[in-house]
Amino acid sequence: MNIIVCLKQVPDTETQIKIGSDRQSIVTDDIKWVMNPYDEYGVEEALRLKEKHGGEVTVVGLGPKRVTESIRTALAMGADKGILISDGALDGSDSLAHAKAIAAAIKDLQYDLIFTGQRGVDDDLGIVGATLAEALNIPQLSLIVKVEVAEDGKSVKVQRPIEGETLVITSTLPALITAQKGLNEPRYASLPGIMKAKKKPLAEKSLADLGLNSADFGAGARKMKILELTPPPAREAGKIVPGETPQEKAAQLAKLLHDEAKVL
């Protein structure tokens, strides 16, 4: 079974994000970049399926040279090879353009499954998986927390949580699955894995290599435009409820909820 995992490099969730002077981008100085957490679930699930059914796992990333670090992380976890799509013309592109470039890199590869994260924790759009599946003309199974591939390798059964229930879906292969929390617990890369990752193949592709026109990418070609980034409003200071006894505090809290919060 051949599996492709698409990953994105995003700011570490513990990084303090600052809005740039243009009000349309963030300040990238001193940011620690990591693999998108939802993509990690995709890598782990791909590795588990490989261990059960055989085959190989290919990791595809898009962005500047630093994305190589995240691809190497996936290789250290156990993936077999990587592809980096890197081109200056991609700077400023939107998610639709990213999906177009990734589809061009994947379309001639042999694959049974494609994993993406259900969304990126930076832009939080969640459209690359659906756009990629549409471009490749394959089924998309989104927000999945359990994956079972048939023994004959021709179909897959997945579970997707919905309100109060679990939706069970079957699909023929190839198909694309967007992974979310609950699918698995991603492994840590071992020291031997890290050493092996340095020797695993990692190809770099430009837009020209993929047969794409650079004029279709970049800020000028965006279908989705960022008008302005604004920080969330500052939270008001909390209030300590006065009272000498629990009963007095409870009565005062009820009064505040009724008179000020207007929730009672």
pLDDT > 70: percent of the chain: 100
d(CA 115, CA 79): 13
The per-residue pLDDT for 238 is: 83
**Strand 113-117 relative to strand 175-179: parallel, antiparallel, unpaired?**
parallel
pLDDT at 133 > cutoff 80: yes
pTM above 0.95, yes or no: no
Q: Mean pLDDT throughout 161-172?
A: 95
pLDDT-derived band at 28, boundaries 50, 70, 90: confident
d(CA 226, CA 222): 9
Which residues 6+ apart lie within 8 Å of 88 measured at CB?
A: none
Phi, psi of 4 (to 5 degrees): -115, 135
The domains found in the chain, sorted by start residue, are 2-221 (3.40.50.620), 233-264 (no CATH)
**CA neighbor of 109 nearest in space, from 72, 88, 82:** 82
**Strand 2-7 relative to strand 146-149: parallel, antiparallel, unpaired?**
unpaired
**CA neighbor of 45 nearest in space, from 126, 156, 139, 123:** 156
Decide: helix, strand or coil at residue 44. helix
The answer to whether 131 and 165 are in contact (CB under 8 A) is no
Which residues 6+ apart lie within 8 Å of 197 measured at CB?
A: 72, 73, 75, 76, 189
Tell me the pLDDT tens digit for each residue of 210-254. Answer: 999 999 999 999 998 889 999 888 888 888 888 889 999 999 999
- Average pLDDT, rounded, for the chain: 94
Phi, psi of 61 (to 5 degrees): -125, 155
Helical (H) or strand (E) element with 201? none
pLDDT-derived band at 61, boundaries 50, 70, 90: very high
Q: Tell me how far the alpha carbon of residue 62 is from its chain's centroid.
A: 12
The per-residue pLDDT for 17 is: 86
**Strand 202-205 relative to strand 56-62: parallel, antiparallel, unpaired?**
unpaired
